[in-house]
Structure 1
C-alpha cells in the first residue's frame, strides 16, 4: 500500500529519509504518526527509524542532539523542524517490567518492528509513502482492532505500561482490544504496580480525556488495572458509575481529576493526599479541592453566587465540562457565573493600600477580613464595585463593629 499524497508533516521530514537512503541506509517513518495518517487523524510527532547507527546518523547531518544516544536516538535539527532518528534495535530481558537491561543495534527493520507494542503502531513508511506491514497492522486498522505484536504476555512483561496504553488507545481510537490481548492484560494487571506513577498518570488522563473514554474505562475496570493504581483498589463501584456519564469531552487534566475525586466521594481534605499519590501537580490538587464542593452544590442545585465566585477562573474550563458529563444543564450556571459582578480578587475596585489609607486601623488579619467582606458584598450585590461605594461600605462596617464593641 502507498499513502498518497504524503501529509505535509511527512513531506517536511522526507529530506532526512532521503539523506539516509542516499548514504546507503534504510530509513522509515514509524509509530503513531503513520497510524494517524492512515486514519486521517491529526499527526503529532514524526519519528524516524533507520539502519544507520547513531554515529553514522550524526556524521550525515550538521546539527544533531544526543537525545537518547544510549538507546539509539539522535535528534536531527533541520530548517523545517527537528526529528528523532532512532537506530533499529532489539531489546534484552526486562528485569523491572519497565526498561530493558540493554539494547542492541541491528540493521533489520523486522527485528525493530517486532519489539513494538501493537500491530497498528508497527507500521513503517518510506519517503514515497510506501507502507511496510509485517504484522497485519493495516488489517487491524480496518478492523479497528488493537492487537499486541507477537505474544501479548511478552509485550506486557517487557513494559507493563503497555497495558495502560492499550486502554488509552481504545478510548482515543474507538478500537476494540483483541481478546487474547485483553486476556493478557487481565492476567497480568498487577504488573502495573511496577510502573512509575507519573507514567500511569499520563495514560490515565489521556484515556479519560478521549472522546470514547467509556470504552477504555470499562476495560480498565474489567481487567482490574484500576486495582494497581493509587487509591483505586476496592473502588470498582465508584469507577463504574462514571460509565453512565453523558458523552462530553474533558479537555483539561484538571477536569479529569475533578471527575475522579467526585466519583470517589472524597472529602475536600482527602483530595490532596489522594492526588499527591498520583503525582499530580500542585495546581491540579488545588483546583480539585477548591472545585469539588462547588460541583457538589451545583449538582444539588444549591450553589449561590459566592460558591460560583470561589470556583475561580477554572469554572468554565475545568468545572463545567465535568458538570456536563454528570448530565447537569450547564447553560444556566454558565450564565450565572458570567453575570457575577467580579470573578477574581484583582477585579475589586480597591486594593489593600487604598483601604488602609481610608481606614488606618485596619492592619494585618483585620485588613484581610475587610477585603474579604468587601468582595462578598460585591458578589452578593450588596455593594457596588466602585472605590467610593466600597470605602463607604467598609467604614460603615467598622463603625458598626466599634459600636458593638462598646
Structure 2
C-alpha cells in the first residue's frame, strides 16, 4: 500500500509544482477509508493531458478523444491521470458513478466529498451518485459495474432502489466497447462470482450479457453454487469462466458441449486468446474426470496440456459431482492423474534421442520425433521401471509401426 500511495502522491506533487491542481480520486480514496489495500490509483487534475505528457516521459496517453488518460507506471501497480470532467473538481465529483467513488484526497490529507459519500463508505452502501437515469445515460456500463462492485468490495451492498433503477432504465450495453464489458465480467468473476451473477440478474442484464444462460431458479442456483465452490477453492478465472458454460444453455443442442459458446463469448469480450482457449478446452473436457477411467486419453491430454490444466480440470469437474458414483469416479481418475504426474518427473527412465539412434541405428528425422513422443506418453501410463524397459518398448514399436502410440494422438 505504501508504495502505491507514495508513488501516486509523488505524481500529485509534480503536477502541483508545475502549477496545477491535482488530487487522488475515486476507488483509491474509498479503499483507503475502508482499510482495503489499493492496487493502483486515479489522479484528477486541471492540467490538459497534452501538457502532462512532457512531465512524465514514461507515461502513455491512451483512449479515444474526449476520454484520454495518461497511464503512469509506479514501483508497484500504476496510476492514471486524467483531466477534470466538467472542468473543476466539484464538477468531476458530481459526475462520478457511485457516491462511494465521489471522493478526493489532497496531498495535504484533506478528504473532499459530500457527507453522503462519507456515510455510504462507512455503511458499505452502493448507490448512484445523483439521479440514476443521468448516470446511466452518461455510461450504460455503470449498471454492470454496480454488479462488479458488489462482488469485489467486501461487505458492500447496493441499496434496493439502485438495482431497481437499472431495471427501469434498461441501459443498452450495445453502446459500450466489448472490451469494457469483458473487463467488468472478468473482474466480477474474480471477486464473488455468485454475488456478481445475482446482481447482474437483479439489474435486468442477465439475458443481454449471457443470452441463453439457465434462468430457471434451480439451474441458476446450481450454477451460483458451483461458482461459489470454485471461488472458495481459489480457482483461476479461466476455470470460473468455464463453469459458466458447463451447464446446458437455452438453444444448445446435444452435440454442443458449450466449448464453442465459451470461446466465442470470451473472444467477443476481448479476453486474452490464451484465457479464451483454455476456458473452452476445460468445458470440452469437463466430463473426463467423472467417467470411467480412460488411462490413454488421460495421458494424451496430460501430455498435451500440462499439469496446470489438469489441476484446473479436476477442480472444475469436482463441482459437477452428483452422488456417490460421480465422486468415486472422480477420485479414481484423480488417483490415476497423480500417478501420471509422478511418472512425468522420471527423466531417468527416458532414453535421449542420441541413445535411441545409437541403439537402433536410426537417423534423425520426424520418425525419431514420433518415437520420443511415444516414449513420453508411455512413461505416463503404465510407466517404465527403467531405461531398459523403455528400450524394449521402442523395439516393440519398431516391429509394429502401426501402433496407436505412433503418432501420439490427443484427439480422442
Which TM bucket (shorter chain)?
0.7 to 0.9
Cα deviations across residues 124-151 of structure 1 (Å, max 9, x unaligned)? 0111332112372222222222111112
Corresponding residue of 2:214? 235
Q: Confirm or deny: 8 A CA contact 1:239 1:264 kept in the other structure.
A: no
Corresponding residue of 2:139? 159
State TM-score, norm by structure 2: 0.75
- Whole-Å Cα distance in 2 between the matches of residues 33 and 333 of structure 1? 46
- Whole-Å Cα distance in 1 between the matches of residues 53 and 131 of structure 2? 35
Q: Counterparts of 1:235-274 in structure 2 under 5 Å?
A: 235-237=214-216, 238-245=219-226, 246=229, 248-264=232-248, 270-272=258-260, 274=262
Corresponding residue of 2:390? 390
Q: Does 1:220 align with 2:200?
A: yes
Q: Does 1:125 align with 2:118?
A: no
Q: Confirm or deny: 8 A CA contact 2:246 2:258 kept in the other structure.
A: no
Corresponding residue of 2:175? 194
- Whole-Å Cα distance in 1 between the matches of residues 204 and 361 of structure 2? 61
Match of 2:162 among 177, 181, 200: 181
Deviation at 1:40, TM superposition (A): 1.7
Deviation at 1:29, TM superposition (A): 0.4
Tell me, which stretches of 5 or more residues in structure 2 are unaligned? 322-326, 404-412
Match of 1:46 among 38, 41, 47: 41
Match of 1:11 among 6, 23, 26: 6
- Size of the alignment, in residue pairs? 377
Q: Confirm or deny: 8 A CA contact 2:262 2:280 kept in the other structure.
A: no
Q: Confirm or deny: 8 A CA contact 1:250 1:256 kept in the other structure.
A: no
Deviation at 1:326, TM superposition (A): 4.8
- Call closer, same or farther: CA 1:299–1:120 in 2, change over 3 Å: farther
Q: Does 1:287 align with 2:278?
A: yes
- Whole-Å Cα distance in 2 between the matches of residues 198 and 169 of structure 1? 18
- Call closer, same or farther: CA 1:299–1:152 in 2, change over 3 Å: farther
- Whole-Å Cα distance in 2 between the matches of residues 242 and 153 of structure 1? 31
Q: Does 1:67 align with 2:61?
A: yes
- Whole-Å Cα distance in 1 between the matches of residues 280 and 361 of structure 2? 34
Q: Does 1:298 align with 2:299?
A: no
Q: Which moved more, 1:144-153 or 1:294-303?
A: 294-303
SS in 1 for 2:286: helix
Corresponding residue of 2:324? none
Deviation at 1:372, TM superposition (A): 5.3
Cα deviations across residues 238-265 of structure 1 (Å, max 9, x unaligned)? 5442212325254523212222222347
Q: Confirm or deny: 8 A CA contact 2:99 2:117 kept in the other structure.
A: yes
- Call closer, same or farther: CA 1:304–1:184 in 2, change over 3 Å: farther
Question: C-alpha root-mean-square deviation of aligned residues, in Å?
Answer: 4.0
Match of 1:85 among 59, 77, 81: 81
SS in 2 for 1:136: helix
Match of 1:169 among 119, 125, 149: 149
Corresponding residue of 1:3? none
State TM-score, norm by structure 1: 0.76
SS in 1 for 2:246: helix
- Whole-Å Cα distance in 2 between the matches of residues 317 and 346 of structure 1? 21
- Call closer, same or farther: CA 1:360–1:203 in 2, change over 3 Å: same
SS in 2 for 1:150: coil
Q: Does 1:278 align with 2:262?
A: no
Q: Confirm or deny: 8 A CA contact 1:193 1:229 kept in the other structure.
A: no
- Whole-Å Cα distance in 1 between the matches of residues 18 and 373 of structure 2? 70
Deviation at 1:70, TM superposition (A): 5.1
Corresponding residue of 1:101? none
- Whole-Å Cα distance in 2 between the matches of residues 360 and 78 of structure 1? 56
- Whole-Å Cα distance in 2 between the matches of residues 367 and 155 of structure 1? 65
Q: Confirm or deny: 8 A CA contact 1:67 1:75 kept in the other structure.
A: yes
SS in 1 for 2:82: strand
Q: Confirm or deny: 8 A CA contact 1:309 1:337 kept in the other structure.
A: no
